[in-house]
């Protein structure tokens, strides 16, 4: 029973979701009398076939696809509401909504380390009415054997963010730079522990990549899988682990509180939000770059005019002031790549991670 329902959920989800949203909105209006009246009216009106007015109000220069959009757009987020990916999606969605003059609904489809949400994006109708905020995991989970889904099942539109991996240790740790830490690891392989994501997650792969580049064994540091960067940081402060390769932005409150210190960022330019932290190459000579990224994509087979139109709007959004200040406040890195560059980047990133995961025995 659960099985058939789940399958039905994949197939017909897109069509019936706005309806249920409306029901929910009416429900809220019932309890929370505040200001919901107007909104649920909108929801009802636009939930079906008011495609006639589509595209009329789109921003002038970017209106490259005729009859697009033909109604409200759904933006699928493979991660939970309230997290970093979700907040980026909500900001991009809000601005895209103004630019395209239609409603953009952010819908969280979580679970399975991102598999569920990415699958939902790939399974949607390629009509541009369903887009998604895809994340670095698209290039990792298929190596782990969790899914057959790859970036080739998607139509990349634009990359909007990149956060390099960091190297964060407790404030009272004996190492003052990345080289000292690597020397310690080389002299005492297998004694230090690190954490920051689940097994085979982005920070795990980044750590292994760095170790391999440094000529060390992939298990020279024992990796402890965690439920994200925050619990790992707690372990770091409490002395349960020795280092966290998660992005510096994820650790910034503890960095500012002086409970942990950052030794390096794994990118050629370092992390622009943390100018005081040197790039990994500066101390160690290791030219290794890896990090988490986010981008907008649709299902494979998206019309190229639609891709061009959304890409054009996104370029304006990502290079705008509001986006820059939001990202700086959230300690997230702004990174622009257009559809073509994004596709190429995903292919390279996929191959690089595949190789690391293969050598570390994480690939299936």
Partner 1 sequence: MAADIQAGLELVLDPTTLLVVVLAGIFGLFIGALPGMTATLAAALLIPFTFFLDPVPAIASIITMSAMAIFAGDVPGALLRIPGTPSSAAYTEDAFRMTQDGKGPVALGVSLVASVLGGLFGSVVLIFVAPVLGEFALRFTSYEYFWVAVLGLTAAVIISRGSQIKGGIALMLGLLISTIGLDVSIGYPRFTFGESELYRGVDFIPAMIGLFGVSEVLRNATSPIHLGPVPKVSSRGSIRESLRTVWRYKHRVGSGSVIGGAVGSLPGAGADIAAWVSYAVTKNTSRNAHLFGRGKGHPEPIAGAAAANNAGLGSAFIPTLAFGIPGDTITAILIGVLLVKGVTPGPQLFTMNTDMLYAIYIVFIVANLLLLPLGFLLIRASSLVLQVPRATLLAIIVAISIVGSFAINNGYLEITIMLLMGVLGFLLERAKIPLAPVVLGIVLGPIVERNFIQSVIKTNWDLGQFFTRPISAGLIVLTAILLFAPPVIATLKRRMRD
Cα–Cα distance measured from residue 46 to residue 59, given in angstroms and rounded to the nearest whole number: 20
Q: Which backbone phi and psi does 311 adopt, to 5 degrees?
A: -55, -45
Whether the bond between 69 and the residue before it is cis, its omega within 30 degrees of 0, is: yes
Sheet holding 130-135, edge to edge: 104-108, 73-77, 130-135, 291-299, 154-164, 334-337
Whether 71 and 17 have beta carbons less than 8 Å apart is answered as no
Which of 82, 172, 174, 329 binds partner 1 (CB under 8 A)? It is 82
User: Of the listed pieces 89-97, 102-110, 170-178, 291-299, which binds partner 1 according to CB under 8 A?
Assistant: 102-110
Q: Which is nearer to partner 1, 203 or 336 (CB)?
A: 203
Which one of 22-30, 64-72, 175-183, 328-336 is the stretch in contact with partner 1 (CB under 8 A)? Answer: 22-30
Candidates 75-83, 181-189, 213-221, 285-293 — which segment interacts with partner 1 by CB under 8 A?
A: 75-83
Q: In this structure, what DSSP letter does residue 215 have?
A: T
Instruction: Please report how many Cα atoms fall inside a 13 Å half-sphere around the Cα of residue 47, on the Cβ side.
Output: 17
Instruction: Tell me 278's DSSP state.
Output: P
Binding piece for partner 1, criterion CB under 8 A, among 8-16, 179-187, 207-215, 303-311? 8-16
Task: Tell which positions 272-331 bind partner 1, by CB under 8 A.
Answer: none
Query: Are the CB atoms for 141 and 202 separated by under 8 Å?
Result: no
| Alpha carbons 184 and 242: distance in angstroms, whole number | 12
Among positions 121-160, residues that touch partner 1 (CB under 8 A) are 144, 146-147
* Interface with partner 1, residue 233, by CB under 8 A: yes
* 239 lines the binding site for partner 1 (CB under 8 A): yes
Tell whether residue 55 is a contact of partner 1 (CB under 8 A). Answer: no
Q: Quick one: 22 or 284, whose CB is closer to partner 1? A: 22
For residue 341, the minimal CB distance to partner 1 (Å) is 30
Residue 237 is a binding residue for partner 1 (CB under 8 A):
yes
Separation between Cα atoms, residue 71 and residue 147, nearest integer Å? 31
**Which one-letter DSSP state was computed for residue 153?**
G
Give residues in contact with partner 1 (CB under 8 A): 1-3, 5-10, 13, 17, 20, 23-25, 27-28, 31-34, 80-83, 86-87, 107-113, 115-116, 119, 144, 146-147, 193, 195, 198-200, 222-227, 230-231, 233-235, 237-241, 253-254, 257, 259
């Amino acid at each position: 029973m659960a099985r058939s329902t789940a399958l039905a959920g994949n197939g017909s989800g897109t069509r019936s979701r706005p309806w249920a949203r409306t029901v929910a909105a009416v429900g809220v209006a019932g309890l929370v009398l505040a200001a919901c009246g107007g909104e649920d009216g909108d929801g009802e009106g636009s939930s079906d076939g008011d495609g006639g007015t589509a595209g009329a109000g789109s921003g002038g220069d970017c209106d490259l696809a005729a009859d697009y959009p033909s109604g409200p757009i759904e933006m699928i987020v493979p991660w939970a509401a309230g997290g970093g990916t979700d907040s980026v999606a909500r900001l991009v969605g809000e601005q895209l909504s103004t630019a395209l003059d239609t409603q953009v609904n952010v819908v969280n489809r979580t679970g399975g380390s991102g598999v569920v949400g990415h699958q939902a994006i790939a399974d949607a109708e390629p009509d541009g009415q369903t887009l998604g905020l895809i994340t670095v995991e698209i290039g990792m989970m298929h190596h782990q054997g969790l899914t057959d889904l790859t970036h080739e099942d998607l139509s990349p539109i634009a990359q909007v963010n990149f956060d390099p991996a960091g190297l964060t240790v407790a404030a009272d740790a004996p190492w003052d730079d990345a080289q000292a830490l690597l020397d310690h690891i080389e002299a005492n392989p297998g004694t230090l522990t690190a954490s920051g994501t689940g097994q085979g997650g982005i920070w795990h792969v980044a750590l292994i990549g760095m170790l391999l580049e440094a000529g060390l064994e992939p298990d020279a540091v024992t990796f402890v899988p965690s439920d994200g960067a925050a619990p790992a940081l707690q372990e770091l402060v409490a002395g349960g682990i020795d280092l966290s390769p998660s992005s510096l932005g994820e650790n910034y409150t503890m960095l500012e509180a002086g409970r942990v210190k950052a030794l390096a960022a794994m990118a050629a330019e370092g992390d622009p939000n943390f100018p005081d932290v040197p790039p990994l190459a500066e101390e160690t000579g290791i030219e290794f770059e890896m990090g988490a990224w986010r981008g907008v994509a649709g299902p494979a087979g998206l019309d190229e005019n639609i891709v061009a139109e959304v890409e054009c709007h996104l370029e304006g959004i990502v290079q705008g002031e509001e986006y820059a200040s939001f990202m700086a406040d959230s300690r997230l890195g702004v990174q622009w790549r257009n559809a073509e560059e994004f596709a190429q980047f995903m292919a390279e990133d996929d191959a690089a991670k595949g190789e690391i995961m293969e050598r570390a025995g994480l690939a299936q």
